[in-house]
Structure 1
Amino acid sequence: MTTPQPLTTEEAAEVGLLPASHWQQEPLPEDEDDDDGASTIGSFVSSTASLSESIFKYRTIHGRTYHSEIGNADSWEPNDAAHIDALEVGHHTCMIAIGHKLYLSPLEKDKVQTVVDIGTGTGSWVIDFADEFPNAEVIGTDITPIQPSWVPPNCKFELDDCNGEWTWPDNTFDFIHCRYMFGVVTDWYDLFRQAYRTSKPGGWVESFVSCSTFMSDDGTVKEDSAMNQWAKVWNAGGEKMGRTFLVYDHDLQQKGMKKAGFVDITVKEFYIPVGVWHKDKELAEKGLWWKMWMETDLEGYINYIYNVVMGWTPEESAVYAKHLRKELNDPNIHAYFKARTVYGRKPHPGEVLNSN
């Protein structure tokens, strides 16, 4: 993937972006230094796309390591130890968000034989699912090898880029899972086309994403706040890369599944506070974990999008991160965002003719 040119001043103004210099107007307390650590390479048993061994030669951008740039396989997330820690927190956070569950699709345990998790990251979802379904073969795919070596015997990891043509045969999987793939997928309609082809008749596909926009019902998320600017930067950066972050906003999960031919499509919406301000205990727990996830490696999350794509300096984005941290920990800011899980079923032969 070719690195896009940073947004011009005019382009930034069109989408309501404040200049990077805005965040240097107010001094903030220094944050504790984070130890990025070294890159961790996990164990992959095979590759469905025959990716080059140069995949292990990571790029370094402003002190953080990233997947090596090969063809269309690229990632805005670091793959070093600091970010791996954040992804582990994120796995638990996503489970809490959907009710302390790994999935919502109505799976029948005795019928699930083959499963794939697209864009598996650290592989935590795959490992947990393999434990819950010991008789199923569970595969996790990703473009960067950061998964552990010690895994249940019924799971494995493969190097693969989901934006390429999937090499699995038709009718392979009983369940296809993908989570937080915004900013990664180049064509969501094609993703679900390939998921449909490789699903078994009666198999399920499930996708979870969130909206990047922080909202408040009482006006405590101010127009010129770091929280308000968060989504504007991400959304503009995604459009610049050609890998949208507006999956929730444009309802691409449901639209993609419908176009692909899935039936029994179910949409589950989630309201997630940010921080611990909410009086409801369950919602406060969701908010606490989401805040912890962001804070675990906030600099890692914003490094590529803000500095490379949007053209900020590391110093400018570091000041912005301090403002954002301050707002995340302010109980008087009642911010929340929305998330969505969508799942659908591939019909059995004959059902398609009878469905609308």
Structure 2
Amino acid sequence: MAGSSPAPVDNAPAAAAAVAAVPEAAAAPAAAPATSEVDDNILPGRHWIAQAENDADSFVDSVGDETTASLRSSIRNYREINGRTYHGEVGQAEYWGPNDDRAQEGLDIHHHACFLMLGQELHLAPLQEGIQKVLDIGTGTGIWAIDFADEFPGAEVIGTDVSPIQPSWIPPNLKFEIDDCTREWTYAENSIDYVHTRWLIGSIADWTALFKEAFKCLKPGGYLESHEPSSGFENQGEPLDQKSALAQWGKFFVKGGLKFGRPFTVFEEHIQRKAMEAAGFVDIEEREIINPVGNWPADPKTKEIAQFSEATFLEDPKGYIAFFAHALDWTTEEIEMYLLQFRRELKSSNHRAFYRHRVVWGKKPLV
């Protein structure tokens, strides 16, 4: 599936969504690159050390440096890579992002950026007010599930993740479970009204298998909703220099995803829609949103989205790339020099960075 060519998709709703999200950027960005056009040629780590040595400008970082079961002590035996902790069940559930305190702060900032990006909505699927059971896959810090449980107090909400990093003070209608979504789900068939997933990119080898599990557990008429980003940054106006740190950012993930068999080109390949169709969902709809990053938008609401998005990346850029940089045998110094340039470019007035975000939702047939 990861190597297939993208199918044609009607992008009229996507264009309308882009206009709503980023008024001044809607007309400028070109269409998202096709899979074959995604370049994974990444510069070696030593390039960034050499660039730092040749650059006289200083830069100060403004942010600073097995099945559903009860908690097992082994789950807390996190791996440590480049000074950061990651989920420890190697060979089973695999997630590329860290799960330490700094990463959790970044996840919560990102949640707020997504909330603003959707017009202060937690979902786009047309849910009924009387929904009874909701499942949030890859819940992370659990912040989406907490907000959803507050908004729908009559629904039972379950958030699942491979790492036990969720808070204990939660709404009474919410519970968290440690579970690997890439295995067979243990929930009863036809028992769930709504399944929500967000940013599972790089964690799933077989998206069709994942969505088939959701299909099996959903009630007839229930919805699956998937949120996934593009693999890298683009720039409004002039294309990014492919040797820039911003352009190189996405290459870490494309190359890393290929190496570990978990694609980061979910957006570019339209994998969400394809997998939903293959799993049997109907009435599939999607919205593509242009998500600005930085201080460049003029519209106040758009600027707020862009500022929170920038804060997401500046809070923990090392957490994003460290796993793959380590896999590519980069040294700590090489990682730090790359991140120095990345922060500089992201905050520079010379760039008007954005990435794309696609929300896809589909319904399980009534019969």
The within-5 A match list for 1:58-137 is: 58-110=78-130, 112-137=131-156
Post-superposition offset of 1:217: 3.9
Which residue matches 1:305?
Answer: 324
Post-superposition offset of 1:47: 6.0
Post-superposition offset of 1:256: 0.6
The within-5 A match list for 1:128-147 is: 128-147=147-166
Q: Deviations over 1:65-110 (max 9, x none)?
A: 1111244112211111111111111111111122211111101112
Are 1:29 and 2:59 an aligned pair? yes
**Hey, what's the Cα distance between the residues in 1 that align with 2:82 and 2:141?**
22
Q: Which amino acid aligns with 1:314?
A: T
The within-5 A match list for 1:140-219 is: 140-219=159-238
SS at 2:193's partner residue? strand
Post-superposition offset of 1:221: 2.1
Q: Deviations over 1:241-272 (max 9, x none)?
A: 11111110110110111111111111101011
Are 1:315 and 2:345 an aligned pair? no
Which residue matches 2:55?
Answer: none
Tell whether the 8 Å contact from 2:40 to 2:254 is kept in structure 1 after alignment.
no
Change (3 A) 1:33 1:276: closer
Which residue matches 1:343?
Answer: 361
**4+ residue segments displaced more than 4 Å:** 32-35, 49-52
Tell whether the 8 Å contact from 2:230 to 2:266 is kept in structure 1 after alignment.
yes
Q: Which amino acid aligns with 1:56?
A: R
Tell whether the 8 Å contact from 1:62 to 1:314 is kept in structure 2 after alignment.
yes
**Hey, what's the Cα distance between the residues in 2 that align with 1:297 and 1:87?**
9
Post-superposition offset of 1:315: 1.1
Identity %: 44
TM-score when normalising by structure 1: 0.87
**Hey, what's the Cα distance between the residues in 2 that align with 1:142 and 1:57?**
15
**Hey, what's the Cα distance between the residues in 2 that align with 1:144 and 1:296?**
20
Tell whether the 8 Å contact from 1:119 to 1:178 is kept in structure 2 after alignment.
yes
Q: Which amino acid aligns with 2:221?
A: G
- Which residue, out of 297, 303, 307, partners 1:288? 307
Post-superposition offset of 1:64: 1.0
**Hey, what's the Cα distance between the residues in 2 that align with 1:220 and 1:347?**
43
**Hey, what's the Cα distance between the residues in 1 that align with 2:70 and 2:206?**
21
Which residue matches 2:349?
Answer: 331
Change (3 A) 1:217 1:127: closer
Q: Which amino acid aligns with 1:64?
A: R
State the aligned residue count. Answer: 324
Which residue matches 2:18?
Answer: none
SS at 2:183's partner residue? coil
Which residue matches 2:12?
Answer: none
**Hey, what's the Cα distance between the residues in 2 that align with 1:182 and 1:246?**
8
Tell whether the 8 Å contact from 1:47 to 1:158 is kept in structure 2 after alignment.
no
Tell whether the 8 Å contact from 2:78 to 2:86 is kept in structure 1 after alignment.
yes
TM-score when normalising by structure 2: 0.84
SS at 1:25's partner residue? helix
Tell whether the 8 Å contact from 2:59 to 2:344 is kept in structure 1 after alignment.
no
**Hey, what's the Cα distance between the residues in 1 that align with 2:195 and 2:211?**
10
Post-superposition offset of 1:148: 0.3
SS at 1:29's partner residue? coil
Change (3 A) 1:30 1:24: farther
Change (3 A) 1:133 1:208: same
Structure 1: gaps of 5 or more residues? 1-13, 36-45, 350-356
Q: Which has the higher contact order (CA 8 A, sep 6+)?
A: 2
Change (3 A) 1:104 1:203: same
**Hey, what's the Cα distance between the residues in 2 that align with 1:294 and 1:262?**
34
Structure 2: gaps of 5 or more residues? 1-38, 53-57
SS at 1:175's partner residue? strand
Q: Deviations over 1:126-155 (max 9, x none)?
A: 111000111110000000000000101000
Are 1:246 and 2:271 an aligned pair? no
Q: Deviations over 1:311-354 (max 9, x none)?
A: 211210111011010011012212222110000110111xxxxx
Q: Which amino acid aligns with 1:340?
A: R
Change (3 A) 1:185 1:325: same
Q: Which amino acid aligns with 1:204?
A: Y
Cα RMSD, aligned residues only: 1.8
Post-superposition offset of 1:298: 1.1
**Hey, what's the Cα distance between the residues in 1 that align with 2:256 and 2:247?**
15
Higher mean C-alpha deviation, range 139-148 or range 86-95: 86-95
